Amino acid sequence: MQQFQEILIIGMGLIGGSLSLALKKSGYQGKIIGCDLSKEALIEAKAMGAIDVACEVPQEAVKNADLIVIAVPVGYYDEVFKEIAAYLPKGVVITDVGSIKGYVETAVARHLPKDIQFLGGHPMAGSEKGGIKAATPFLYENAYYFLTPNGNTRRDTIEKLESLVKGIGAYPVIVEAREHDKIVAQISHIPHLAAVLLASLLEKRNSTSYIPFVGGGFRDTTRIAAGNPNMWKDIFFLNKGEVLEGIKTLEGLLQDFKSKLLEGKQEEVLEALEKAKSIRDGIPHTARDYIPPLYDLIIDVQDRPGVLGELTQVIGTNHINIKEIEILHAREGELGAVRIGFSSKDEQEKALMILKKGSFPLTYRKGENEDVCNPQNS
């Protein structure tokens, strides 16, 4: 990612702010300029150490940038592209983080010079909380990050952005823009709509509100409905075709379930519930499907305070990066086990040697010996 000397991020909110923090954390040595309509966002970004320079109007800031990242809600793209189009320096690469990509391609074609290198991007990481205050350098760790080249995107542009994405701890996934929009309609836009509809079930009717009684289930299934309504309104309209397809599917599923219930088909209702359970159970704890499996170690540890800290410290001081950590089981007063995932076999081997020779002799590659020492695994 050091191919870029000066990165301009337009939109210093959750996603833009997290990107600059992640770049800083990764050791990026170039200059980062943050641009936002909101003075408060810029002051906060500067105070957090996310950016080197703040600017309220992008025209000046684009002039020396070699990478521009558009990180404003998609409804503002036309405005931003119009502002910067005439000032873009030769050789600049432009990318974005917007939740839809087909529309973005059309906006680029409408506003930006034909010879510009634009490569759409979309990190599959975020939160219902917007704004720079919610930004974190860890947002992109282990997240998939879609990149959507078109026929004009050069190989070196793709490589530069892939390297940047990997640098912030995410996994680049190359996909065509229209295909991307189909995928995210199913995994993000329709689930968002479903959360909105579920939350609306508790709209206060008459004088009674049931909100005080909600439990974890309602919170889990509606969390994303707390996202920025303006941003989501634009996403739904700008990915309308795919969202309408998703609504049709949802209607079909509801109708189907309703008929089964009405007709007393208990076996079929059970089958639908079991199918959904197995899909839900199959979702990995962290995103993993597109990437090579992590190289895991299983470490048997005493169940006592501070043991996790010691373990991670030994690994950290030896400059080995932990990609995932999971407590497998901890029973009071007995041995517990921790799974640690590394991104390369070399790191796994190095950590194995260090831990085995040091204070964690019961360390194994995943699958080796672990059942012997942890009978509850079998």
Q: What is the CA radius of gyration of the chain?
A: 24
Q: In terms of DSSP H, where are the helices of the chain? A: 14-25, 39-47, 58-61, 77-84, 102-111, 155-167, 177-184, 190-200, 216-222, 229-238, 240-262, 266-281, 307-317, 345-357, 370-373
Least distance to ligand ENO from the beta carbon of 233, Å? 13
Among 3, 25, 26, 38, the residue binding ligand NAI under the rule CB under 6 A is 38
Q: Does 128 bind ligand ENO (CB under 6 A)?
A: yes
Among 4, 28, 48, 76, the residue binding ligand NAI under the rule CB under 6 A is 76
Q: Does 185 bind ligand ENO (CB under 6 A)?
A: no
Which one-letter amino acid corresponds to residue 305?
Answer: P
Which one-letter amino acid corresponds to residue 311?
Answer: L
Least distance to ligand ENO from the beta carbon of 243, Å? 13
Among 20, 153, 188, 374, the residue binding ligand ENO under the rule CB under 6 A is 188
Least distance to ligand ENO from the beta carbon of 291, Å? 18
By the 8 A CB rule, do 291 and 310 touch? Answer: no
Rounded to whole angstroms, the Cα distance separating 285 from 164 reads 24
Least distance to ligand NAI from the beta carbon of 22, Å? 13
C-beta atoms surrounding 322 within 10 Å: 16
Among 124, 135, 139, 164, the residue binding ligand ENO under the rule CB under 6 A is 124
- Burial class of residue 242 (count of CB atoms within 10 Å of its CB; 0-12, 13-18, 19+): buried
Q: Does 36 bind ligand NAI (CB under 6 A)?
A: yes
CA distances, 361 to each of 282, 291, 311, 351 (Å): 32, 30, 12, 12
Least distance to ligand NAI from the beta carbon of 210, Å? 28
Q: Does 127 bind ligand ENO (CB under 6 A)?
A: yes
- Beta strand 295-302 with 363-365 is antiparallel
Q: Does 72 bind ligand ENO (CB under 6 A)?
A: no
Nearer to ligand NAI, 137 or 336 (CB): 137
Question: Which positions from 132 to 171 touch ligand ENO by CB under 6 A, shown as an x/- string?
Answer: ----------------------------------------
Q: Does 93 bind ligand ENO (CB under 6 A)?
A: no
Q: Quote the tokens at residue 72.
A: 């404003």
DSSP state of 185: I
Least distance to ligand NAI from the beta carbon of 335, Å? 39
The site partner of 251 among ligand NAI, ligand ENO, none (C-beta below 5 to 8 Å per kind) is none
List contacts with ligand ENO (CB under 6 A): 99, 124, 126-128, 188, 224
